[in-house]
Amino acid sequence: MKKYNVAILGATGLVGQTMIKVLEESSIDVENLYVFASSRSVGLNVTFRDKTYPIIELKEEAFNMELDFAFFAIDSELSKQYGPFLASKGVYVIDNSSQWRMDPTVPLIVPEINGHILNKDNHLIANPNCSTIQSVVPLKVIDKLFNVKAVSYSSYQAVSGSGTPGLNDLKRGEQGFPPEFYPKQIYSNVIPQIDSFLESGYTKEEMKMVNESQKILNKQMEINATCVRVPVFNGHSVSMVVETEKEVDLERLKSVFMKHDTIIYFNHSVYPTPLDASGQDKVMVGRLRLDLNHKNKVLLWSVADNIRKGAASNAIQIAEYLIKEGIV
């Protein structure tokens, strides 16, 4: 079995740490691991499969090793710098930032949906937005069965989606201190704003869900989204209203959900919550029901661990797919 040389950029952040954990749990046989972060983290070590690895300062001259994969848990500006740099060296770069997601030359991948579009020339691969990933997994099932025409998303997103600053703000609010990161207190509150506002009145997060869903499913659909930050530490939830061209057969849809490899389906009055999804790599689906007035509209509730399936696990799964298909 082939062994692989792997780098993780942004290894000390929330997503980077989870990438290390998920990689450790994965089927990927790692020959050498290289963990990069800013100069502030130099001197720290990480443990991976019972070995200790020192943090390497992230700078171009540090990449003097042979690499097969590089997982990015860094911001868009750093991804813009290091993505093409490493891809040009033949490294398969899997980037969790938003930098390359809507670039028409870069595949945006959820492996179980569109992994088949990948080939040996795709050295730069984008990992989608967290709330988009967990939405398109069940949406693909509905589209295949009944042909999706329009979608309305309402998301309830945990503070871990903002990384450590979001987690700290929730803790600060609980202790009676004002927020340092969010525009308003998140503790005992909800904030109907994720990322900055555009002139349209939508936020960047909302437009990520709109645009990325269409790109992943390779389909133009009418999509609207409202994204809300909630005082939950981990786990995003998305309420979805899906309009289809064909009349929805609810029992057939339930049956497909129950047999799906990457969906955990909750029937009737049993439903998933963020706590249920924490630590999971599958997307949980529940509250499935028909619209009261339209037979070609279905409502459902999707929950996932936003740091795992919504970020780190999906990235590792992309690499596993590339290996399984003999691309790498």
Positions marked active-site: 130, 236
Sign of the alpha-carbon torsion through 68, 74, 79, 85: negative
Say if CB 5 and CB 66 are below 8 A apart: yes
Q: Could you tell me if 112 and 261 are in contact, meaning their C-beta atoms sit under 8 angstroms apart?
A: yes
Rounded Cα distance, 266 and 29, in Å: 34
d(CA 143, CA 39): 47
Q: At what angle do helices 14-25 and 313-324 cross, to 10 degrees?
A: 40
In three-state secondary structure terms, 59 is coil
User: What are the strands, taking DSSP E only, across 140-252?
Assistant: 148-157, 222-229, 236-244
What is the chain's length? 328
* Strands 283-290 vs 297-304: parallel, antiparallel or unpaired: antiparallel
The answer to whether the beta carbons of residues 29 and 1 sit under 8 Å apart is yes
- Return the SS3 of 69: strand
The tokens for 56 are 């390497």
Cβ-based neighbour number of residue 314 at 10 Å: 25
Q: Tokens 């720290």 sit at which residue?
A: 44
Pick from 43, 39, 6: nearest CA to 22 = 6
